[in-house]
Amino acid sequence: MDEQNGKTIEKVKEMIERSEDIVVLLGIGTVIESGGENIWSSRECYRIEEKYHKSPDEMMSVEYYSARRDKFFEFYKNEIISSCLTPAPLYKDLKRLQQSGKVRKFITQNYFDLEERAGLEDVIELHGNIKYNACPHCGKKFNVEYVRNAKGVPVCDECNSAIRPGILLFGEKILNGLMTEAVNACESADLILVLGTNMYDNMVKFCTGNYEGERLVLITKEEHYTDRYADFVIHDTVTNVLPKVISDDLPKITPKAKAESEPGKEKNEKQNKTVTVKK
Ligand SMILES: [Zn+2]
């Protein structure tokens, strides 16, 4: 670890100890540390284009799901849900942080169900979750194993309709309510932890656009030219860093103490700003 990282780690540790209202944004890096692949990395994009003659964006689009359902599910089953990922050690540290009462929300655009399997609560899943699969016709729900084990297109065992995976496809918008909840949580946070992604990530841009504090901490392995938009940056894996910045004996905040520290959640002029969601 270089000297700069070391100094920043000490500073961030101190800030976490003093914070009472933390929002954590989980990026694709937390999936990769859990053994997953980033299908949007240039290496994976190339492999996928070679194998399927289409880009991951095209294959994961709502148009492709509608037009070529057989091919969509071939890709979805092979590349997205082929294996069950195990949450990386970093999730244990996040659980510990949550148990201290300091975390307001986790926000993720990952949909591999790592957060819930790690026992995290108050998670905003912007892009859905692979475990929510439903028949669009009769509404019957199916687990991910049912989809994974189906031959060809998974169909509802009640009405024979094709099952819709519970994740956001390209061309679909994030539900307004979820986006607002995420933006509001970030706006009033006293510290934001951005994990395993960069400031160029749409999720980070949209969610933190109204944040005017000076405690946005980016922890990520890869350097990026937008790193300067974070107030503090630590370059390393999230699994390596979290045990160093989340101390073992964090002071616990009781719900009462927390309520008192939120005097009416000041409704100021910041509310008038609008956030544009592109996706
Ligand atoms: Zn059905």
Q: Are residues 147 and 31 in the same domain?
A: no
- Distance CA(154)–CA(150), nearest Å, equals 5
Assigned domain for 247 exists: yes
Q: Are residues 133 and 123 in the same domain?
A: no
State the distance from the centre of ligand 1 to the C-alpha of 74, rounded, in angstroms: 21
Which mean pLDDT values do the consecutive 10-residue runs of the chain (279 residues) have? 84 96 97 91 92 94 96 95 92 96 96 95 96 96 96 96 96 94 96 97 95 96 96 97 93 64 45 40
Q: What is the CATH number of the domain that holds 160?
A: 3.30.1600.10
State the distance from the centre of ligand 1 to the C-alpha of 162, rounded, in angstroms: 8
Helix (H, G, I), strand (E, B) or coil at 219: strand
Q: Are residues 162 and 267 in the same domain?
A: no
Q: Residue 277: what pLDDT?
A: 41
Q: Are 237 and 221 in contact (CB under 8 A)?
A: yes
Rounded to 5 degrees, what are φ and ψ at 155?
A: -120, 155
Rg (CA), the chain: 20
- Distance CA(44)–CA(185), nearest Å, equals 33
Q: Are residues 7 and 96 in the same domain?
A: yes
Q: Residue 259: what pLDDT?
A: 52
Q: Residue 3: what pLDDT?
A: 79
State the distance from the centre of ligand 1 to the C-alpha of 155, rounded, in angstroms: 8
Q: Are residues 25 and 58 in the same domain?
A: no
Q: Residue 255: what pLDDT?
A: 59
How many domains does one find in the chain? 3
Q: Are 195 and 26 in contact (CB under 8 A)?
A: yes
Q: Are residues 22 and 95 in the same domain?
A: yes
State the distance from the centre of ligand 1 to the C-alpha of 139, rounded, in angstroms: 6
Q: Residue 184: what pLDDT?
A: 97
State the distance from the centre of ligand 1 to the C-alpha of 81, rounded, in angstroms: 21
Q: Are residues 245 and 139 in the same domain?
A: no
Element (H, E) at 25: strand 22-26
- Distance CA(210)–CA(212), nearest Å, equals 6
Q: Residue 7: what pLDDT?
A: 92
